[in-house]
Amino acid sequence: MNADPATLWHATAAAGTRYPAACGESETDLLVIGGGFAGLSAALHAAEAGLRVTLLEAERIAWGASGRNAGFVVPNFAKVDPEAVVARLGPDRGAALNRFAAESADLVFDLIRRHSIACDACQSGWIQPAHSAEALARSQSRARQWQALGRPVEILDRAAVEELTGAIGYRGGWIDRSAGVLNPVGFARGLARAASAAGATLHEESPVISLVQQGAGWLAATGAARISAPRVVLATNAHVGGLLPGLARSFFPLKVFQIATEPLPASVRHRLLPGDQCVSDTRRNLFTFRFDADNRLITGGMHFLGPGADRRVPHAIHRRMARMLGLPDLPPLAHAWSGIASVMPDFLPALADIAPGLTAGFACNGRGIAMTIRLGRELAQWAQGAPLADLSVPSRKISPIVLHGLMQHAPQALLPVSILRDRLDDRKP
């Protein structure tokens, strides 16, 4: 029986249902491949709309990035602002994609309430503190752009950032109050339960090993099952592997580490994040932190890889958090894990228009919880007959990144430059 990954979230979430491996021959209206947030949301929304839905997960629900992230629910694009989205996509498509992002966190917390999902969810807000004067100017402009779209966003001065986060030295920042935190494994297991209750058939330990066109639809095969469907959603994210090799070369797979400490004593806990928000700053080598429901401090990030990285990096990240938050007595490391995030070259959500009846959705880019849930709802509309071109997320043919074998290492290779530039920023008055 396949094991769950050893993350904090798998260790602390309520136990999930075991779904049987697929076997035999069957037909369905929508076949979803992948049991992360994108696949679960597509399955839930399509089943609620009355479609016959089958979801196949190679391992277990929330085995991929959906079970390994930090649980920050953030409704914006990590690197691109609303005006830039409109400039790139034009007024109509740009406005649609901005609305897609803006409403995404509300959708997550609505689903949690509607399906009574126990996942320590808290719509407490997300704070982005600015580490330099230039970053402050950029984040104030960013906040104004989301405010202009009617979002519950406020600009924060230096004192407000310090009071809300407990972190010293930031120049100011902004907060989106529709954002929040959750236990992602609890959330994914709750979505799976809701999808199943809505009539979807879920299978774990059922890797799709071939997917071929059959008449006007598709035939997917696992070791023990053959399932045909007129429409297929590939929700495999960075784990697509050899199933569609061109697709695997159309994004950057980024290894990201996460850690959690032992619970903090109440004397320290009350001065950091008293409002339970999550924080990601403006550094190029991003610094993030939040608490879980038991007061464990959580952070993560990219790091230099190489021999022994899985053992070495968590300690380096733990030391960085102690330094950044001025906590020489930070409780020891209790949990460490890593996952693979997919990042699109333009940092925006995208649909791959692979062939008639077959599409793949990517909305990761470090904001995948809110975005993939919203993306799954759009994919359910496509499954009901809406043309791809009518969805809020732009669709395009698969275009593999030139020299992907080399280019996929660029984010890691450029990390020393990012760290150096952050240090130079820190020295500026």
Ligand X SMILES: Cc1cc2nc3c(=O)[nH]c(=O)nc-3n(C[C@H](O)[C@H](O)[C@H](O)COP(=O)(O)OP(=O)(O)OC[C@H]3O[C@@H](n4cnc5c(N)ncnc54)[C@H](O)[C@@H]3O)c2cc1C
Footprint on this chain of ligand X (rule: CB under 6 A): 33-39, 56-59, 63-66, 68-72, 74, 207-208, 235-241, 243, 256, 258, 300, 339-341, 364, 366-370, 372
Burial class (CB in 10 A: 0-12, 13-18, 19+), 349: buried
Q: Which letter, b or e, does each residue of 235-250 get, where b requires 16 or more Cβ atoms within 10 Å of its Cβ?
A: bbbbbbeebbeebbbb
Tell me how far, at minimum, the Cβ of 77 lies from ligand X, in Å.
11
The pairing of beta strand 350-355 with beta strand 395-396: parallel
Return the number of other C-beta atoms located less than 10 Å from residue 228's C-beta. 16
Closest residue (Cβ) to ligand X? 368
Tell me how far, at minimum, the Cβ of 366 lies from ligand X, in Å.
6
What is the widest separation between alpha-carbon atoms in the chain? 68
Q: Which is nearer to ligand X, 32 or 160 (CB)?
A: 32
The beta strand positions in 132-238, using DSSP E, are: 153-157, 172-176, 180-181, 201-203, 210-214, 217-221, 225-229, 231-234
User: Encoding tokens for residue 247?
Assistant: 């697709």
Tell me how far, at minimum, the Cβ of 248 lies from ligand X, in Å.
10
Tell me how far, at minimum, the Cβ of 329 lies from ligand X, in Å.
26
Tell me how far, at minimum, the Cβ of 315 lies from ligand X, in Å.
17
Of 354, 99, 333, 335, nearest to 213 (Cα)? 354
Tell me how far, at minimum, the Cβ of 240 lies from ligand X, in Å.
6
Q: Which is nearer to ligand X, 195 or 208 (CB)?
A: 208
Tell me how far, at minimum, the Cβ of 21 lies from ligand X, in Å.
11
Q: Which is nearer to ligand X, 158 or 177 (CB)?
A: 177
User: Encoding tokens for residue 382?
Assistant: 């496509």
Q: Which is nearer to ligand X, 241 or 416 (CB)?
A: 241
Q: Which is nearer to ligand X, 39 or 94 (CB)?
A: 39
Q: Which is nearer to ligand X, 136 or 211 (CB)?
A: 211
Q: Which is nearer to ligand X, 35 or 172 (CB)?
A: 35
> What is the dihedral sign for C-alpha 150, 151, 154, 155?
negative
Burial class (CB in 10 A: 0-12, 13-18, 19+), 5: middle
